[in-house]
Every structure is written in structure tokens, then in C-alpha cells.
Amino acid sequence: MNEIRFGVLGTGGIGRRTLEHATAETDLTPVAACDRNGVAVNREGLDVEELLAATEGNIASGPDDGVTDGGTAVKQSGEHRGVAASRQGEQTETPIDDIIAVSETLDAVLFALPNLEHDFIPRVADRFAGAGYEGVLVDVLKRSRVISMLEERSTAFEESGITFVCGAGATPGFLTGAAAIAAQSFVEVEQVEIWWGVGLKSGYEDNRGTVREDIAHLEEYDIEAARELSEAEIEEIVDEHDGVIEFTDMEHATTCCWSGRASVTRRT
């Protein structure tokens, strides 16, 4: 297999695990990574161990903390925040643009960013296409509205030489696997009901931006309200729900299998 040189946008839980996994694969070479405060680029390959060690720990991502680029959670170590704390990193106010500037060296780019605005990921993809990028863009999320926005861009992506992979994260992957097992195990699948529980306490330290996005799906909140929550308010919500938020009919969950709800039954 040929070497795949890739970049990661976002160094929260998924971005960090991706970088970590790459160290065990001989054909995957991470050459760029960024968060909202910093960017690290090494065309020969990043020192992943140093980068992850330097960015260990989490800081606030509340309304007064200058959150940009979709509400990305940021790491902090010592004097600097996030990727900028690494000896490989540099502080920047334009992290995504800085990755796009070196995109000719990338075969693939992983979007590991919370998607508080539904058009955020498509707009980032537009920026890669506009810069002449040719390669693979991988989004960990899968949302019905985002899918339609990407379909509207399919011609532009094809002309640019971009392959867009949508729904590569844990939720779509897990549900697709469950759907395959159900299809093979039952004579007929009449309906599917998905109850989704988000364990906030266990993943909070690594995924504060994602937790903010989860809270936005609660009936009493929306995207803007969730964005304005302070860290103390988020922790209070986590405690009120005993660390778990349950959802039904979440669009990025239900679209991963079939569009139905209710139960899976076996017919004999």
C-alpha cells in the first residue's frame, strides 16, 4: 500500500485518537494538525508522541474564551494553548487556512471538529476545493442537513478531484455495523428504534466541544444557547443528568441505518 499523508483539523478526542492510531500503521503519516489556536506542520511526519504530550489537558471553551471554527475544544499545556504548546506548533489565528496552504502535500484531511452550525463542515470543504485541493476529505459526523448540502456540492467536488467521506465517526460506524447484523440475523426488519445515550462524564475532559454540541440537542436548548453556556453551566447540566443524556430520533443517528423507528422483530 502507498503511504497516505494526512492532516487533522481538531485535536479533541477523535483527532487525538486518530493521530495516536497512525503511529501503529506503517502506511499512515500525519504531517499536519491544528486546533483553533495553533498549527503544526512537518512534511516528513509529525512527532505524534510529543504533540499529544504537549497538548494534554483541557481548558475552557465557553463564550468568553474566543471560540471560533465551530466551537472547537482546545488543549493547554504550560504557557501556550493547544497545538501551539508543542515544540512543533505555532500560534495562529487562521489554523484551517494554514492547513489549506499546505494541502498539496496531503492525501487526506480528517475533520474532527464539532459542527454547531450545520453548514460549517461544507463551508470548510468549499475552502479546500477553492484552493485546488485534490484528495480525500473525511468528516466524522453524519447529519441529514449536512448530507444535502454536500450533495449540492458534488459536481464541484468531482471537478476539483475531491472525494468526501461523510460519517466516519463512532456513531455512524457503530450503527451501520448494528444495521448489518440486524439485516443478517432477522428474516425481516420492520422498524428500527434508536435510543442514544451520551456519557458526558466519561468523555468530558477530552471532548468539551462535542459535549456542548450534545447539549444543543436537548429540547430546552438550541445551538446559540449551547454556545453561550459557561463551563460551570455545562458541568451543572452534566450533573443534573447524572452524566448521561438520552436522545431519540437524532438525525445523525437515524440516517445511519434506515429512516424508520420502533423495534426490530424476528419472524419465524
Which residue numbers are catalytic?
Answer: 142, 213, 217
Cβ 175 vs Cβ 256: under 8 Å: yes
Q: How many Å apart are CA 268 and CA 265, to the nearest integer?
A: 10
Grid coordinates in use for 19? 493521530
Output phi, psi for 239, to 5 deg. -65, -40
Q: How far is CA 95 from the centre of its chain?
A: 16
